[in-house]
Structure 1
Amino acid sequence: MIQKAGQRRFGSYKQEDVVFLLKDLSDVRLEGNTEEREKRIQGGQHYSETLPFEYNPPEHYLQVFWETLAEYKTKVAFCTAVVAEQIYRRKGQNTVLVSLARAGTPIGILMKRYIQFKYRENIPHYSISIIRDRGIDENALNYILKSHPGCNIQFVDGWTGKGAISIELTKSVQDFEEKYGVKLDDSLAVVADPGYCTDLFGTREDFLIPSACLNSTVSGLVSRTVLNDAYIGTNDFHGAKYYQELEEYDVSEQYLEQIASQFTHINEHELEQAIAEIKKAEAVSFKGMKEVLEIKEEFGIETANYVKPGVGETTRVLLRRVPWKILMKDPDSPYVRHIIMLAKERNVEIIPYPNMSYTCCGLIKKVGEAK
């Protein structure tokens, strides 16, 4: 949805921070019970056709979010600066940030704010949809290219898991070039790349980016994106909902402010050192995907889609899906406190699993089977 005079607002972010190119489906009932939704997905319905219910997290869980934010805001700010510097040095003033809704949106805003803080450049930032197995929103891309002729698009996400979205992005960009004759850079800029899926990252450490703890209440009250033929026409952007009813629980702006406030404390020498280290870092290898396939075989899981590696993805499994087991490299790691709490709440077994590069990994339950 493009904000115009007279239109109702979409999302709780400031208009100068991000423009959502999404069709407003706020009045459409798309949510379903977690178990029922999981059955439909495992029965063949695409996950993007429906949405999980969203709610205000309980107080003790919010407490974990605030604690982790206090603990890691400096690290998130530093890693954001590391990747934003690389983007700006590669693409300059002509950069247009295009974050992948919705986990990429707060990160895109933070990158935009960092570039504004450091270089006094107010670069455009859009948030658009990409969906696994269905590709990127080409209508949204064409809108951006028409609005900013000759721009350097930089795609942004929060973190990488096993690399499914990186692979989808590369495929989408190839399809886009074939269809429209426009070649785009398919690199994906992320704060954390534990899956070794990109060369444009802030760190490869699998640490907790606090926004992974919450859903819409830390993402501008915007839902996951939707691609359902019943509501999305050929010329429409992909859809999403704005959960205005959760406004009193919204912490999106506070999250951004707390992290952005750390930009002034970044040590320039350490920043340059980190960028230099990244240039020498191991090449993109998708080694996380290799580990995922090994886990899939070891635990007799029928598809890699049911294996969700990394702190962020494991958190999502516990919040949105029907979890089976959680593999944990080190249960004493500070990055997994919220995961241990959620797993106990949902009665999910935690298995120590020291021999993986990820901090943890969520395994989705095959619905209907007793395991």
Structure 2
Amino acid sequence: MSFQPQIRIPATYLRGGTSKGVFFRLQDLPEVAQRPGPARDKLLLRVIGSPDPYGKQIDGMGGATSSTSKTVIVAASSRLDHDVDYLFGQVSVDSAFVDWSGNCGNLSAAVGPFAIANGLLPPGRIPENGLCTVRIWQANIGKTIVAHVPITDGMVQETGDFELDGVTFPAAEVQLEFLDPAEGDDGGGAMFPTGRLVDDLEVPGVGTFKATLINAGIPTIFVNATDIGYTGAELQDAINGDAKALVRFELIRVHGAMKMELIRDPGEALKRQHTPKIAFVAQPSDYVASSGKAVKAEEVDLLVRALSMGKLHHAMMGTAAVAIATAAAIPGTLVNIAAGGGTRQAVRFGHPSGTLRVGAHAEQIDGQWKVTKALMGRSARVLMEGWVRVPGDSF
């Protein structure tokens, strides 16, 4: 009988926003996993417990949902105007695949606190009390995130009274600025890759839908809820319990990805599950959130539901929230129209777990829309720290 000892790797298990993930300092990974490639992917898959045909990730740190099957690698930045480099890996639950194509906006809130607590910032940068500003280079998409992390008695403050729908307990707020969030690496480098605020998206065998295709925060396809037979007030079970609906959403996502020129043919979508996202929007209406909390129409500007890794998200992905904020700020998009139209710098939208307020600064220059920053408040907390263990032959 073969025997392979386990190795242990320093790691921290953190909640960031409405997601959880395993965080590593780059320097703490085994040398072969300190660079991109199959060894790194195999290691992270084993840490999280994928692929798992049972869909539970019992033999790993994952929580069997897209929100809890995540990994983060952080390193001191080589860029003079940034503090740390942040790389995000979305781990598939049931297949041997790590998607590096996009960011996680929720876990972005935990990167600054992790960097401060793990010695990746010079001590002189950290105030005794107040806010520590951490400039983060988001390596997946080549963008800057600025995190304002509360500090008390020289340490990251994690507890507080900031409440975030989708998270049970209050915590300290981390303010995030996503600078120049329009995606620059895909879709021809344009915020609206087709050059239009609204497109007719033809999906063979499904139908043709009005869609706003936007690269901001993360590539996102927005459609009207009523056009696909929904109200916008649905909770997870209404979508995730309907296998036919999930297939239809994936077909819409795939054809939207091709129209955005993110992929060339449907087969490529299998290796690009994390991006683009697909979301549907609606005008405000009353509904009951998953917690039992009543959300009144007058409390929100619009309703949004979004899918991640093939399932309806229990709240809202942070990167999709950036896309919502950006699209809402630009008159004529489906998001802006659902919110009542006009010029706006902030919206509060309803999602399955409650509500969220996001903002964006948009302006039109020479006929082209530009968004200089998107803003949101999140929270983060260390859940466990120490070492993760994996069999030494797993990567």
Please give the TM-score of this superposition, normalised by the length of structure 2: 0.24
**Structure with more of its chain in strand, by fraction:** 2
**Structure with more of its chain in helix, by fraction:** 1
